[in-house]
Amino acid sequence: MTTYKRILLKLSGESLMGEKQYGIDEKRLAVYATQIKEIAAMGVQIGIVIGGGNIFRGLSGAGKGFDRVKGDQMGMLATVINSLALSSALTAAGVKNRVLTAVRMEPIGEFYNKWKAIESMEAGEVVIMSAGTGNPFFTTDTGSSLRGIEIEADVMLKGTRVDGIYTADPEKDPTAVKFHDITYDEVLKRGLKVMDLTATCMCKENNLPIIVFDMDTPGNLKRVMKGEEIGTLVHN
């Protein structure tokens, strides 16, 4: 039995770099595909949103002279590249999947709508929702919050390289203390960088809980689905 029936899994683009400085690490991709396959075999309905920071980040591009709108559009395309890479890895692992895009670009992916996504998940396909919200000035965190709410997910799982939310950045501050669970109000009050403000407020207003956990440790995704208390739960 699993704790959640339908999930929205948010993966960061940076995590796909693995040991590399840029782009996509095939080994990391294969590990992610294996973990996703494990929970798909448990009957979990899976929606996925991936960031694009391993290829291009619109906001940092804007700081280097790119027009912000064009920069964000480049970032959206980066998420499509990552989504196709994950789709390929899942197919190689024998997992049925479908790529949907928030911007029309058939035949690369089908144009996203809620009902197509839910229908595909109910048919046993992993649905990868790419191109963010399709609009500039919104991050993939906001994209994943929006998609999670739209597809009526039970929870958003935010797979990162750290094992939860801390009082400070544990990679920089050795005195940082981990939260096992925390409310949205506390996250906002402390100014913790779980997700950007828009994404956090959307999840709070629509009562979508988030679990932040270490996706880079093989087997962790399955542990979360079994209800093991790893990572940090964010809730109302």
Q: Is pLDDT of 3 > 90?
A: no
Can you tell me the mean pLDDT for 228-233? 94
- Between 67 and 114, the more confident residue is 114
Domain boundaries, the chain: 6-235
pLDDT for 64: 77
Q: Could you tell me the CA-to-CA distances from 234 to 157, 192, 200 in Å, in that order?
A: 10, 12, 10
Q: Distance from CA of residue 204 to its chain's centroid?
A: 17
Place of tokens 């998940």: 121
Q: Comparing C-alpha atoms, which of 108, 61, 106, 60 is closest to residue 83? A: 108
Do 58 and 72 touch, CB atoms closer than 8 A?
yes
Q: Yes or no: say if 165 and 97 are a contact pair by the CB < 8 Å rule.
A: no
Average pLDDT along the chain: 94
Cβ atoms of 137 and 68 closer than 8 Å: yes
- Residue 63 pLDDT: 73
Please state, as a whole number, how many other Cβ atoms lie within 10 Å of the Cβ of residue 60.
12
pLDDT in tens, 93-119: 999 999 999 999 999 999 999 999 999
- What is the pTM (predicted TM-score) of this model? 0.95
The rounded distance, in Å, linking the Cα atoms of 55 and 22 is 7
| Short-list 46, 52, 12, 7, CA closest to 214 | 12
Per-residue pLDDT tens over the stretch 143-152: 999 999 999 9
Asked if 139 and 132 count as a contact pair (C-beta separation under 8 A), the reply is yes
Indicate the pLDDT class of residue 1, thresholds 50, 70 and 90: low
Which band of pLDDT confidence, cut at 50, 70 and 90, is reported for residue 61? low
**Residues 178-218: pLDDT tens digits?**
999 999 999 999 999 889 999 999 999 999 999 999 999 99
Q: Give the model's pLDDT for residue 231.
A: 95
At 65 the pLDDT is 79
User: pLDDT digits over 73-93, tens only?
Assistant: 999 999 999 999 999 999 999
Assign domain 6-235 to its CATH architecture. 3-Layer(aba) Sandwich (3.40)
DSSP E strand stretches across the chain: 6-11, 45-50, 97-101, 110-111, 126-130, 155-160, 165-166, 178-179, 181-183, 210-214, 232-235
Burial 156-181 (b: 16+ CB within 10 A, else e): bbbbbebbbbbeeebeeeeeeeebee
